[in-house]
Structure 1
């Protein structure tokens, strides 16, 4: 194997943790949006939290040699590779972080587990239930050998959502009745936006369903503390032909438009209802066509004793209604989630100083390092990712079976 090039200016121990701790050496595949977010997490976690392992950013991988070396220097990785197989073969990589499109998740994860690495894989776990099943089975076998595998649903790591989960677990809402979730974006509203990989089923698996729906399915099940048991769905693709980007349909979100068009093979928007094991009802909406909405995720849970709501655009807050209070004093109240006793916040700033989106990846790294050091199954596991994949598949199946439009008599 060719000797990998070192990135100029990169540090061998970029986390700032005490050198006496055993190292956890990370290799990451992918360097674009999610790669940058994960790099922030790995680079920062050991500087904020007292971790049991010393994080080392050993190598980052991408097919474009120039771009991946630039990413390595920018984000603090010690070396760069252009072949993921070379990255997972490195002796200085203990954990492989997968930040690639969904069509490569299974191959990379299975290969990494086979050679004894821990794995963190971005959501959705895979493009199909079959791939996700293989990954979950391999992860279970690897766990018996001391290897851990986790899927990256980072919205679990927002302090406000972690606090919401704690409050639901404490019974503050009582028996759950309703869960309603929306995730709205608008980056595809322009019909001239080019045909990137996110609009091709063979690479992305699905559109808004996998990109956004996977997040809200996992978050709803996480907060409810129970899985969905069935769904009924509608799916739509609004613009079916788009300009081909320069370099072909595999280019990223910043691709430059060129002549010619190609077929959009994924969904643009999805609506579905569902039922939890307890009988609670749920509704979900995910779209990349909500004009004016940039990254608007909102979830509300209603129970017999109270309600909770979270809005990602106000991510340091929870809205809570205690239904056991006298009506004269009851109502939704704002909980500012910045106190040191709130999840993750013991290591951050004084009360009232809010955190941001990037901190969820710092918390993700922190939680995985602790799980590895303690030898316990991380959450969400690959089995959890498989369960979400089964929900996504059920949504597609439901939408296909109910694809005939039935008008309502007036």
Structure 2
């Protein structure tokens, strides 16, 4: 599910998209809205950008000086938590999130978007913004002191207003350069950058050639700034996405460090078979990044003990079994620890409340399975 700006029109459209995605197994995610009034607040009068056609693709040159792959040791899986400042906690303004109850995870998920004018600032990078899916301010995490050493999973929206086309054509270079300078100011922080997340989701309607050009342009800009503190992630909307679909959007082996997917339906990873995206990752010799995950539709704060244990068996246990079964290749598990229903963008859309700290029984089981850094590899 894409992060969208919270105007009346956009919210109505998003509701339709979400409902259609439910029918086809779509995913969920944070909020990196497409319009800003320059102060970090949504601008309800801002028109959507006019889509244009991407310029013809130029021959792809080999990538040089890409940063080395950064992944945990074999059989280890880092746990990341998202997806907004309040849900994560441990920062200047918010102190009732995951970090405040369960400790500092291996990484944190945050979101930015390119569907708006980023000048003078890119909202959510060093200024606070809330598009209806929780507050976003990446700088608050990095300057908090509580989260020293944390890794950042930075998801970049390229969908609204066909902004992947604008990126491909160079119209968003100023936004990318702001990100590059920001990342350069924190050389001790490692960033996992996920451009155009859920590339194959119907809610994103990415044009394949423009997507590939945009993805490469972002990476090339980072390299021009001589950044060495990042890896790239390319993720699908489901672990079942087949190789042919991946290849449609693939920007090139040299441009992608990690292959990822969203995981909201535990049924997609039940059984002994290897999901298509994991097979694709193996064929590409890339590690796997589970980029968004949570059990949709459950109010964890309202479940009884028996209901909680049943949910553990139906969602958490199969997901952890999936991670353990493919521990040689799955390096990151990014969980969304949010009270979705309290956020305007997701209200009445049956996303629920997936905060681990809100349920004493699930919290206990989670803590047995997840250390502050990652998933415990041994079977239960």
Shorter-chain TM-score bucket reads under 0.3
